[in-house]
């Protein structure tokens, strides 16, 4: 089985190191193409107006092929699938992460981690985005690895047709692995981020801003959502897809047109 790994925290992050170690339990044919720096919040961004540099890294692990890419997480995926592995066997599984910080709720649309996973799914490859709700660069990934191991095995065991284009968003709570209650299959929590901009001036007197924000949960008591599950000690799995068509409104618009 061939596994392709990327992330949005950069090639040197502790999260991707944990994921690379876990992947070796499942395969001896692992390809890593990861950004040269942090590309958090890049979503599905691609580089179009500047060159993309790629460097092959030396590794002492048999079957591990590592590349650093000066591009976004989706750039990394496209480079891996369309250039580095061009003409070769395509990956059987894409793993993205393990992200430092949550990608639950509406955060999924901003996430570079999930952008890369969704790109893998667009190629028909089962893809898993993995995130730990801890932004600490030295976070403890033991619980995340424990959950990721179960999720990866479950995906491997799925019927072939059920895996084509599969994309799942996995989030793990920042608690000791012994305290994780299990895995819940959930829907995305309804809510939104409200941004706050901190205004400052540079030495030349020019205005600049730092952005921060807070997520406002519209349904804090809804027990079928990812936010509720994470806050109650569960890891979460939300299946996602790229088709953003609002089918309910489409049907209403068509009905209104027919009746006009």
Domains along the chain with CATH numbers: 2-189+220-259 (3.40.1210.10)
Query: Which residues pair with residue 31 across a beta bridge?
Result: 4, 65
pLDDT at 76 over 90: yes
With a pLDDT cut of 90, the percent of the chain lying above it is 97
Instruction: Report pLDDT digits (tens) over 150-185.
Output: 999 999 999 999 999 999 999 999 999 999 999 999
Average pLDDT estimate for 11-17: 97
Q: What is the mean pLDDT of the segment spanning 134-144?
A: 95
Instruction: Provide, rounded to the nearest whole percent, the portion of the chain with pLDDT above 70.
Output: 100
In angstroms, the CA 24 to CA 21 distance is 5
CA distance 90 to 4: 9
Q: What pLDDT, on a 0 to 100 scale, did the predictor assign at position 130? A: 98
Sheet holding 29-35, edge to edge: 54-57, 64-69, 29-35, 2-6, 93-100, 127-132, 167-172, 234-239, 182-185
How much is the mean pLDDT over the chain? 96
**Cβ atoms 117, 96 nearer than 8 A:** yes
- Contact partners, residue 255, CB within 8 Å, separation at least 6: none
In contact, 47 and 79? CB cutoff 8 Å = no
Q: Could you tell me if 115 and 43 are in contact, meaning their C-beta atoms sit under 8 angstroms apart?
A: yes
Q: Write out pLDDT tens, residues 225-256.
A: 999 999 999 999 999 999 999 999 999 999 99
Burial bucket for residue 216 (CB in 10 Å: 0-12, 13-18, 19+): exposed
Confidence at residue 260, expressed as pLDDT on a 0 to 100 scale? 76
In this prediction, residue 258 carries a pLDDT of 84
Name the pLDDT band for 259 (thresholds 50, 70, 90): confident
Whether residue 46 is predicted with pLDDT greater than 90 in this model: the reply is yes
Separation CA 51–CA 56 (nearest Å): 16
Displacement of CA 177 from its chain's centroid (Å): 21
Full-model pTM: 0.95
**Tokens in use for 149?**
């191991």
- Contact, 99 vs 14, CB < 8 A? no
Strand pairing category for 54-57 and 29-35: unpaired
pLDDT tens-place string over residues 190-221: 999 999 999 999 999 999 999 989 999 999 99
């Amino acid at each position: 089985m061939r596994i392709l790994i990327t992330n949005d925290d950069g090639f040197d992050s502790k999260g991707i190191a944990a994921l690379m170690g876990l992947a070796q339990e499942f395969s001896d044919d692992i390809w890593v193409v990861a950004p040269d720096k942090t590309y958090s919040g890049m979503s599905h961004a691609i580089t179009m107006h500047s060159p993309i540099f790629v460097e092959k890294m030396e590794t002492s692990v048999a079957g591990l092929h590592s590349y650093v890419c000066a591009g976004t997480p989706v750039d990394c995926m496209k480079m891996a699938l369309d250039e580095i592995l061009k003409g070769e066997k395509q990956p059987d599984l894409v793993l993205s992460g393990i992200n430092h910080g949550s990608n639950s709720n509406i955060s999924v649309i901003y996430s570079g981690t999930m952008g890369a996973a969704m790109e893998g799914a667009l190629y028909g490859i089962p893809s898993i985005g993995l995130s730990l709700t801890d932004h600490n660069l030295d976070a403890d990934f033991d619980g995340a690895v424990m959950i990721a191991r179960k999720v990866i095995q479950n995906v491997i065991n799925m019927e072939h047709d059920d895996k084509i284009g599969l994309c799942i968003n996995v989030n793990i709570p920042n608690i000791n692995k012994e305290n994780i209650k299990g895995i819940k299959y959930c829907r995305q929590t309804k809510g939104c981020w409200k941004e706050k901009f901190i205004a400052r001036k540079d030495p030349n007197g020019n205005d600049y801003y730092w952005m921060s924000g807070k997520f406002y949960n519209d349904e804090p008591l809804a027990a079928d959502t990812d936010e509720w599950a994470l806050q109650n000690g569960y890891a979460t799995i939300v299946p996602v897809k790229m088709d953003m068509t609002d089918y309910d409104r489409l049907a209403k618009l068509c009905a209104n047109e027919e009746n006009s």
